[in-house]
Amino acid sequence: MRNRLIMFPALVLCGFAVVGCGGGGESAQKTEQHAAPAKTPAATPAATPPAGGAMNSVVRGVVKFEGTAPKGEKLKMDADPVCKGLHTEPVYPQEVVVNPNSTLRWVMVYVKDGLGTRTFPAPTTPVVLDQKGCQYEPHVFGMMAGQGVKILNSDNTLHNIHPMPKVNSQFNVGMPKPGEIMKNFDKPEDPFHIKCDVHKWMSSYCGVFSHPYFSVTNEMGAFELTGLPAGTYKVVAWHEKYGVKEMDVTVGDGETKAVDFTFAETGA
* The pLDDT value given to residue 225: 98
251 touches 58 (CB < 8 A): yes
pLDDT tens digit string along 176-235? Answer: 999 999 999 999 999 999 999 999 999 999 999 999 999 999 999 999 999 999 999 999
Position 37 scores a pLDDT of: 52
The stretch 48-64 carries a mean pLDDT of 78
| The pLDDT of residue 17 is above 50 | no
The DSSP 8-state label assigned to residue 215 in this structure reads: E
Cβ of 27: how many Cβ atoms within 10 Å?
A: 11
pLDDT, one tens digit per residue, over 26-47 is 444 433 334 445 444 443 343 4
The 10s digit of each residue's pLDDT in 151-182 is 999 999 999 999 999 999 999 999 999 999 99
Per-residue model confidence as pLDDT tens digits over 235-253: 999 999 999 999 999 999 9
Closest CA to 136 of 71, 201, 73: 201
* Res 266: pLDDT: 81
pLDDT digits (tens, 9 = 90+) for 97-120: 999 999 999 999 999 999 999 999
The whole-number pLDDT of residue 26 equals 47
Q: What angle do CA 9, 204, 200 make, to 5 degrees?
A: 175
Which burial class, exposed, middle or buried, applies to 25 when counting CB atoms under 10 A from its CB (0-12, 13-18, 19+)? buried
Largest CA distance in the chain: 60
pLDDT digits (tens, 9 = 90+) for 58-79: 999 999 999 998 888 899 999 9
How confident is the model at residue 74, as a pLDDT?
A: 92
Tell me the pLDDT of the chain averaged across its residues: 85
Judge whether residue 48 has pLDDT over 50.
no
pLDDT tens column, 122-136 = 999 999 999 999 999
Full strand arrangement of the beta sheet holding 231-239: 214-216, 108-113, 231-239, 243-251
What is the reported pLDDT for 168? Answer: 98
Which pLDDT belongs to residue 156? 96
Higher-confidence position of 222 and 267 = 222
- Looking at residue 32, its pLDDT comes to 38
